[in-house]
Chain A
Amino acid sequence: GQNIDQPTEMTATEGAIVQINCTYQTSGFNGLFWYQQHAGEAPTFLSYNVLDGLEEKGRFSSFLSRSKGYSYLLLKELQMKDSASYLCAVRSLYSGAGSYQLTFGKGTKLSVIP
């Protein structure tokens, strides 16, 4: 089976840095994704890692260690609009027809306070 763990909630201060961790156990790993979901809105794609290392995109960075089954999303210079849920998702071989599909974690609700 597949298992994805991430903290349920986090709180951080405006202007600070926050790191959201994600650990996973899966077979047929084929990439890790982070999505952002504001309350009442659709999830939107943030980042993708398939090789070990850090991917940087503006204020957001994502890290992957495949050997450890571990990823983190780093948000710098936090803004109030960053208050949202952050979903970790792993693409792996699906148990059904053998295609690669995304399995999501429960999401981490980040609250940014002044």
Chain B
Amino acid sequence: ETGVTQTPRHLVMGMTNKKSLKCEQHLGHNAMYWYKQSAKKPLELMFVYSLEERVENNSVPSRFSPECPNSSHLFLHLHTLQPEDSALYLCASSEDMNTGELFFGEGSRLTVL
């Protein structure tokens, strides 16, 4: 099993759809993250969870809703997205919130039509 697994790898959705991105880490880490990567922009932190509690929410619109049911799983629920939300969504984990070395998943490439 790879360290951090994301599904689906590719997703195309309409603006009225509801979908979810899933992330699973097999590293025994206590912190998990969602990052957004758009073309020609830096990786942008969206959410941070530590021990299943949300620690950071970087002013992300409510159409993105994270869920962390346990320390190994992280979801990003998507609802009424806009075309500008099309991007690569990367999940990452780290030993704890204060450890900078992040282990990233391969990402979910989202296209909003």
Contact = CB atoms under 8 A, between A and B. Distances in A.
B100 interface: yes
B42 A97 contact: no
Contacts of A41: 106
Nearest to B43: A104
Given A94-B56, A97-B56, A101-B56, A43 B45 contact: no
Interface residues of B, number: 24
Interface string A5-46: 000000000000000000000000011010100000111110
Nearest to A95: B58
A102 B98 contact: no
Given A42-B90, A96-B56, A97-B55, A33 B48 contact: no
Say whether chain B's binding surface is mostly helix, strand, loop, or mixed: loop
Given A33-B101, A48-B100, A42 B45 contact: no
B42 A4 contact: yes
Interface string B5-44: 0000000000000000000000000000000000011111
B50 to A, nearest CB: 8
Interface in A79-114: 87, 89, 91, 94, 96-97, 99-107
Nearest to A50: B100
B82 interface: no
Contacts of B68: none
Interface of A: 4, 30-31, 33, 35, 41-45, 48, 87, 89, 91, 94, 96-97, 99-107
Given A35-B102, A89-B100, 18 more contacts: A31-B100, A33-B101, A42-B105, A42-B106, A43-B90, A44-B104, A45-B101, A87-B43, A91-B100, A96-B55, A96-B58, A97-B56, A99-B97, A100-B100, A102-B100, A104-B44, A105-B42, A107-B42
